[in-house]
Structure formats: C-alpha cells, structure tokens
Amino acid sequence: MSDNYMPLVPATLAFNEHGTPVSRDFDDVYHPEWGALEQARRVFLPGNGLPARWQGKDSFTVCETGFGLGNNFLALWQAWRDDAQRPARLHVVSFEAHPFSARDLSLALAGRLQEPEKTLADQLVAAWPPLLPGLHRLEFEGGRLTLTLAFGSVARLANQVSACVDAYFLDGFAPRVNPDMWTRSLFGQLVRMANVGATAATWCCTGDVRRGLRDAGFLVTKEPGFGGKREITVATLRPGMGRSPNRTLPRQPVLVVGGGLAGAGVAQALALRGHDVTVLDPAFALGLGGSHHGHIAAAMTPVITRDDDSRARLSRAGVSRALQRWQGLPGQARPLLCGTIALARDAQQEADCHSALEHLAFPADWVTWLSREQASERAGRALSCGGLWFAQGQKVQPQALLEALLCHPRIHCMVNQVEQLRPDGTGLWLAMDSRGKELARGAQVVLANAAQATALLASMPNASNLPKVESMYRLAGQVSYYSGTAVAPQVVLAGDGYCLPPIEGRFVGGSTYGLDSAQSCITQQGHAEVSRKVAGLLNVPLSGLGRLPGLDDGWAGWRAAVSDRLPVIGPIDEMPGIWLACAYGSRGLSWAALAGDVIAATLDQEPLPLERELLRRIAPR
Ligand SMILES: Cc1cc2nc3c(=O)[nH]c(=O)nc-3n(C[C@H](O)[C@H](O)[C@H](O)COP(=O)(O)OP(=O)(O)OC[C@H]3O[C@@H](n4cnc5c(N)ncnc54)[C@H](O)[C@@H]3O)c2cc1C
Ligand SMILES: C[S@@+](CC[C@H](N)C(=O)[O-])C[C@H]1O[C@@H](n2cnc3c(N)ncnc32)[C@H](O)[C@@H]1O
C-alpha cells in the first residue's frame, strides 16, 4: 500500500424522498425502506444461525463487508447483550471504503433509532476513529466486544486482515452498482479467514454472487426473503474446509522478561484478557516504574510521510492504541493530550510538509499545518517558524504509567534477572537465575528485555537464527530538566530535539544520542547539547533557559534498535511459545500498547489490530 497510497474518501450523508439514507455515488440505498435493524434481524442474524450458533462458545467473530451506518453492528451488539448464553467475547471486523464522519454518523443514527440501540449508537459515535486509511480497533463493553474497522477499499484490504471468522454479513451495495464488493477474489479472502463451519448471509440473490460463493468453497442455498424480496442467500463453508480454532486449554501464566515499556504494555494487554502474567525484571528493585526511575516526562507523537510508509502507519496505529488504552488510567499515569507541533526546520521541510498533507488528505483535526503565528499561539510563546500540528500528541509520565500498567491483580512482578530459559519437558518454559534456580514457569514467554533479548535468545536450546534480532544495537541518551518554566511550551515541541509542557515547576528537553557509549549517564556535555536544541525550538538564547541543569536534573537510558528502525514484535515461528517485543528505539511509547494488543490478540485468536503487511514488517524474521 505504501507506494500506491490511496486517500480515504468519506461518504456524504443524503436521504431519498422516503427518508432512507442513500449513496449518490453508488446510486443505492444503505438499507431497505422497511428498516435497517429489521434487515439485520431478518437476514444477517438468522441467515447465520445467530444467536444459536454462538451460544456456549468462548468467543465468536463476525466479518461484514460494508459498515455503512453501522446498523448491522448495532443490531448484532444488542442481540449479543440480550442473550444470556452469549459468548464471553464478540469480535466484529468490518470493511468500509467511504466512512461517514462522526457527525454524520450521529445525525443519521440519533434521530432514527429508539432505545436500546440509540444508547449503543451514542457509544459507537463517541468511539468513532479519525477518518484515516487502515485498521482501527474500537472496544466496547469493557473490551468484551471489539470492532475492527478496515477503512479503505475491500479490494485492497481484504488480504490484509487477520481474523478467524465464524459468520459473514455480505452487505455491499448491489453488485450492479458496486461489483468490487462481490468479487471472486474477495470471496477467496473470506474463505482464507473462515473457521470450520463458517456461514454467510446476504439479501443479494444474483446468480453470479451465488456461483462466486459456491466456487470459493461455500454450500449455497436460498431462503425466503422479506419486504418485497422473494429470496435471500445463505451459505455454509464446505465440510473439510476452514480453520479449526485452538482448543481452549487450561490457561498457564505467561512469562514476560523485562518490565519496561515493552514488558508492561504486553503484560497489561494479556491481563485485560484474563491471562495471568509473571513479569521479571531486576529494575523492579526501584519500584514498578524502575526502568524509568526519575524520568519525569516523555513525548508521544505520530509521524507522517508523503508515501504513508510502514513506519508512519505503525506509528499512527500505535498512538491511537495508546490513546485508547491509557486515557482511562488514573492520575499521573494518564497521558496529557496536549498536542504536538513538529516544527519545520527550513523552507524545504515546510514545502515537503505541505506536499505530504495535500497528497495524504488526512483530516485536519488529526494533522494540519500551522503558520508561525498559529503555532506560536498554540505553544504559548513566539516561535521562529510554523509546523505540523498533531492533535493526538501527548506528554507522558513514564514512571507513573509503568506503575499503573503493571498494577493489575493478574500481573505478578518479580525482582529477578532471567539468565536462562529452558523447556521443562511438559510443554512449559522454565525461567532460571544465574545459579540455575527456577524463578517461574509458563507456556508462553515474551522477551521484552530490549537489547538483552539477543543474548538470552542465543543461550536457549535450539535457538533460531534471526539475523534482524542479532543485529540489534543500543544507543545511550539523556534528557535534561529545566526549572525556568516561564519559557516552557504548552504543547510538545518537536524538531531538532524536543521539549515538553511543564510538570511540577520543571520542563523536559531532549535528547542526546550516543552510539558507541559503554554506559548511559547524565553529563554536563549532554546538558549543553540538549540545551542548544531546546533553545532553538523555543526560539530563545541559551541564557533564556535560566540556570543550566545539574547532574541530577535529568534522566539517562538506552534505546535498542534494529536497522529498519521498526520495533520487533511477534512470535518466533520456529520456537513455539517464544515471542519478542523489543527494539522500540526512540519511540517506546508509540509501540508499547500496540505491541501488547498484537501479541495478546494473536494468542487469543482475535482479529489483529494491524494489517498483515505491517505484521510482516515487524516480525522477528
Ligand atoms: C534519553 C531518552 C529519551 C527518550 N524519550 C522518549 C520519548 O520521549 N518518547 C518515547 O516514546 N520514547 C523515548 N525514549 C525511548 C524509550 O525510552 C524506549 O523506547 C523504551 O524505554 C524501550 O522500552 P523497553 O521496555 O523495550 O526497554 P527498556 O526500557 O530498556 O526495558 C527493558 C527492561 O528489561 C530488563 N531486563 C533486561 N534483561 C533482563 C533479563 N535478562 N531478565 C529480566 N529483565 C531484564 C531491564 O532491566 C529493563 O528494565 C527515550 C529514550 C532515551 C534513552
Ligand atoms: C449497503 S451499505 C452497508 C450498510 C451497513 N452494513 C449498515 O448496517 O449500515 C454498503 C457499504 O459498502 C461500502 N462500500 C462500497 N464499496 C466498497 C468497497 N469497495 N470497499 C469497502 N466498502 C465499500 C459503502 O460505502 C457502504 O457504506
């Protein structure tokens, strides 16, 4: 997708003379005049044998082609709520090339729906993502209902979705006006994702669609229709086809080696899904936030590139995941949604920003250009140039964040260094200290110990050869703390370095990069380097920063990275039960929540929150 970027074109809200929503572009209605929820209850739910087919299951996954106004989703959600025998978790994946804005969605649903769906619609609108291409993961009912929206044409995205689907709602506009939603290639992708016994239903009865479904692998039949439609189509995957879901085994604890941002993100995602997690890290001797002890604030900002490359797509997925996962945290652990201005260093960079914005056509409430005057007003001080404004930019207090993520009744933290990992002969992994003493045991082990993951992996029996991971290197770095808050910005300022809004009478500036350092510590030389950057960003002379920081006024740490500067996240295929979550480089905050959900969702066979192409880019191999 990177080199043939297609901007997302939102839908325009319009109604016909009967008050039914219509698409002027496709010349079709969003649902029959006799009712959207009724169609869901008469075609899509019973055509898939619901609710009976999900009863007694732990989880159930529905995939829809054409999210539209979300009526089918709301009807499904309500049916799930109404059913005492519902599965504990319901996952919905839905493709939509032309999403409505949150405002139009609200206008179209609010006036028409009665309770109880109206309340659900309000929750949907409140959670509605920015109109950006790619996958968006929404959660409702405390995470027991997930909605993975794939924004973009189904022709491009169907092969990018990872899901194990039990039921399909085929709800494109009519094949005559919308052939892309009924192609054989799409039906092939539906079969790729189908579980054993998967079903499909649609109001569409054309011979082509029925033959297409049949040739892809479904047994297709007609059922009586409603409201002027004589028949509907229902289909069941042929016996012998489809994936068999994992047997539900008694759950063993998951071991996480390393309790920094990577380990804490994974542990939280697993604990939220009901897994018991043991996290081991000697840094816990300084408390649960030990790996960022004394680090008072850090920045999280998405990036954009003109061709919307992997790094840009991952970063916006990561920042949006963090926003959802962390905005509900208490007190200082909740990131401050202050926004970021990424300053353009020169005229060429400004021209590049304009060109990228025009090409990407992202919504202005997500990223937009600010002139020097506008940027100065946002920052609360006179800046030397304009820049890109990211409304989702955040200031994070890493130590408080880590403490909150790890403080969960299902997470057990141990102050230990893991020196060896061995299979115990019963299908579990054994974590041991330097004397070979058992520390903990688990069926899955996530190596979240940054650059030290390489050595630990190499020490394991039958370790795989993973060139990317073996090439991991680390960079030392420090940030500096300034006490003159009069010059501090009200937003995150980024460019050559960064500086953050004030926190308890100080503000943070960053940072230094030391490739060949043997140790990472705060130095006066480091302060001088950071101060030059911060003074440049704030458009003040060095003296404007007030008293220069002393050796206690900062934080020093490491960044582990691999050559493509993407994180390494996922299972090691040749070593069942071993996962990696490392190489977070300079953007640990952007990857932490996303990596947690990628690993936990893979383990639990949920739809994944990232495109397959991106999963391949971050995979250990
Ligand atoms: C100066 C500086 C400023 C930064 N600013 C930002 C910023 O503003 N925004 C941002 O997003 N990122 C920032 N970063 C990057 C961010 O800090 C990292 O990306 C992040 O900390 C990586 O998290 P991690 O958990 O992978 O690694 P770490 O934080 O290094 O944690 C790894 C943990 O594993 C433990 N461990 C190692 N080996 C073992 C073992 N064998 N057994 C048990 N435990 C083990 C270690 O004790 C450690 O606690 C900055 C980095 C630096 C250096
Ligand atoms: C009949 S409407 C869906 C109604 C919806 N299921 C509901 O419950 O409100 C069809 C939807 O398919 C979308 N669509 C059309 N072509 C598409 C394509 N190629 N890829 C993805 N979505 C597409 C349209 O934008 C429209 O929202």
pLDDT at 228 over 80: no
Sign of CA dihedral 152, 153, 156, 157: positive
Sign of CA dihedral 345, 346, 351, 354: positive
Least confident of 189-193, 243-247, 382-386: 243-247
pLDDT at 251: 78
Instruction: Print the SS3 string covering 340-403.
Output: EEEECCCHHHHHHHHHHHHHHCCCCCCEEEECHHHHHHHHCCCCCCCEEEECCCEEECHHHHHH
Least confident of 53-57, 188-192, 207-211, 248-252: 248-252
Instruction: Print the SS3 string covering 149-211.
Output: EEECCHHHHHHHCCCCEEEEEECCCCCCCCHHHHCHHHHHHHHHHEEEEEEEEECCCCHHHHH
Nearest CA to ligand 2 atom 26: 68
**Is 403 near ligand 1, meaning CB less than 6 Å away?**
no
Q: How far apart are CA 511 and CA 499, in angstroms?
A: 9
pLDDT at 249: 59
**Is 497 near ligand 2, meaning CB less than 6 Å away?**
no
Q: CA torsion, points 160, 162, 168, 170, in degrees to nearest 10?
A: -10
Among 44, 117, 154, which is best to mutate for testing ligand 2, by the most ligand atoms less than 8 A from CB? 154
What letter represents residue 17's amino acid?
E
Q: Quickly count helices (H) and strands (E) in the chain.
A: 18, 29
Angstrom distances, CA of residue 481 to CA of 331, 488, 498: 22, 11, 12
pLDDT at 516: 81
Q: How far apart are CA 560 and CA 88, in angstroms?
A: 38
Least confident of 89-98, 238-247, 267-276, 287-296: 238-247
What confidence category does residue 28 fall into, taking pLDDT thresholds of 50, 70 and 90?
Answer: very high
What confidence category does residue 252 fall into, taking pLDDT thresholds of 50, 70 and 90?
Answer: confident
Q: How far is the CA of 188 from the centre of ligand 2 (A)?
A: 19
Least confident of 120-134, 280-294, 510-524: 510-524
Other Cβ atoms less than 10 A from the Cβ of 60: the count is 24
Higher pLDDT, 548 or 454: 454
Nearest CA to ligand 1 atom 10: 587
Which DSSP symbol is given to 238? Answer: P
pLDDT at 102 over 50: yes
Long-range contacts of 34-39 (CB under 8 A, 24+ apart): 34/226, 34/227, 34/228, 36/69, 36/71, 36/72, 36/75, 37/71, 37/74, 37/75, 37/113, 37/117, 38/226, 38/227, 39/71, 39/72, 39/203, 39/226, 39/227
Output the six-digit token pair for 240.
Answer: 């012998």
What is the arithmetic mean of pLDDT over 554-568? Answer: 96
Q: How far is the CA of 258 from the centre of ligand 1 (A)?
A: 9
What is the separation of C-alpha 449 from the centre of its chain, rounded to a whole number of angstroms? Answer: 21
DSSP H/E element including 92: strand 89-96
Compute the mean pLDDT over every residue in the chain, rounded to the nearest whole number. Answer: 95
pLDDT at 240: 96
Strands of 450-553 (E only): list them: 473-482, 492-495, 497-499, 507-510
What confidence category does residue 1 fall into, taking pLDDT thresholds of 50, 70 and 90?
Answer: very low
What is the C-alpha end-to-end distance of the chain, expressed in Å? Answer: 21
Please check whether residue 262 is in contact with residue 581, taking contact to mean a CB–CB distance below 8 angstroms: yes
The full DSSP string for 137-151 is EEEEGGGTEEEEEEE
Q: How far is the CA of 262 from the centre of ligand 1 (A)?
A: 7
Nearest CA to ligand 2 atom 12: 66
Q: How far apart are CA 45 and CA 58, in angstroms?
A: 19
Looking at the chain, the whole-number percentage of residues with pLDDT higher than 90 is: 93
What is the arithmetic mean of pLDDT over 583-592? Answer: 98
DSSP H/E element including 598: helix 588-603
Q: Which residues pair with 64 in a beta bridge?
A: 94, 169
What confidence category does residue 2 fall into, taking pLDDT thresholds of 50, 70 and 90?
Answer: very low
pLDDT at 517 over 90: no
What is the arithmetic mean of pLDDT over 553-558? Answer: 97
pLDDT at 431 over 60: yes
Q: How far apart are CA 54 and CA 42, in angstroms?
A: 17
Least confident of 107-116, 257-266, 561-570: 107-116
Task: Name the pTM for this structure.
Answer: 0.97
What is the separation of C-alpha 408 from the centre of its chain, rounded to a whole number of angstroms? Answer: 21
What is the arithmetic mean of pLDDT over 591-616? Answer: 97
pLDDT at 309: 96
pLDDT at 135: 98
Output the six-digit token pair for 105.
Answer: 């969605």
pLDDT at 248 over 90: no
Q: How far is the CA of 291 from the centre of ligand 1 (A)?
A: 7
Q: How far apart are CA 250 and CA 320, in angstroms?
A: 33
pLDDT at 230: 84
pLDDT at 170 over 50: yes
Angstrom distances, CA of residue 122 to CA of 31, 104, 128: 20, 12, 10
Nearest CA to ligand 1 atom 45: 258
**Is 97 near ligand 2, meaning CB less than 6 Å away?**
yes
What confidence category does residue 580 fall into, taking pLDDT thresholds of 50, 70 and 90?
Answer: very high
